[in-house]
Amino acid sequence: MLTPRVLKLSLLRRLGAASAVRAAERPPPCRPRVFPARSNHSRGYSSEGGSKYNRPMRQFAEENEANPQPLIYYVVPSALLVFAGLVTFVHYNDEKRAVTQEAQQTSVPKRCTTNRPAIGGPFKLYDTENNEVTESKLRGNWTLMYFGYTSCPDIGPAEVQKMADVVKLLESKYGTKITPLFITIDPQRDSPAQLKAYLSEFDPRIIGLTGSINAVRQIAQEYRVFFKKVDDIGQDYLVESSHNMYLLDPCLETARCFGAEYEASDLAEAITLEIQKASKSSTN
């Protein structure tokens, strides 16, 4: 028969063996997973890698100092800046000179810059000596212009005589000189010699101009002058036309138009008033 002590030891061994079996059958405890710390450095400041973007900025600057850029990278932009400055300086001086020259041209009336009806334009005709005359040769003087023809039976000679009287009145009474200009509207019959002989009967200072049919038609259209042949029988015909005189300022712009109803004295006075008006506007 077993003693109590032996029974107690036997029971303890059995309990220990059962605990060991249960411990072996249980799964191992879960352990928390530990991740390695991740670096927060930016790519530009990383000390690893061979790219220049992974190098420190100080190292990158040291490399740039060690390997300077070629001289052409600095010379070309500097040359371009200098050239642009010279162009700007020259352009500014040109504009300044242009403004100064315009200010010095006080002899040209300010009315030349005003907007007025577009009457007149460029032309190329010939005088009684077969010399070419263009609008540029008339600039700088006041001009009294009339369109007519030497074969005109009535109104034409009266208007030419009026022009001659006005020229004399302006010089003697007002001390003013103008250029009297007679332009034929019948170039087929009015040759330079015919014009010279005709105008010398009134005043040799009247300048006669003629030209081709197209040239005469062009200047007549520019000055809104109407004319056409009537009773055309060979070389025997009349020319209907408007009998207006045009006062042109030194810029060859039409200052005023005068009809046939003006007398020579009235016309001279009206021309004087226009010249005085232009002189006042140019000095203001």
Which residue ranges are tagged as binding site for Cu cation? 152
Q: Is 135 helix (H, G, I), strand (E, B) or coil?
A: helix
CB 90 within 8 A of CB 98: no
DSSP 8-state secondary structure symbol assigned to residue 184:
E
Cβ proximity of 260 and 155 under 8 Å: yes
User: Which SS3 state, helix, strand or coil, does residue 133 take?
Assistant: strand
132: which 2 tokens?
A: 């070419």
Q: At what angle do helices 155-173 and 264-283 cross, to 10 degrees?
A: 50
Binding site feature residues: 152
Which pair of tokens denotes residue 211?
Answer: 């030209």
Q: Which class for 238: exposed (0-12), middle (13-18), buried (19 or more C-beta within 10 A)?
A: middle
Q: CA geometry: angle at 55 spanning 51 and 60, to 5°?
A: 100
Residue 242's Cβ-count burial label (10 Å; 0-12, 13-18, 19+) is middle
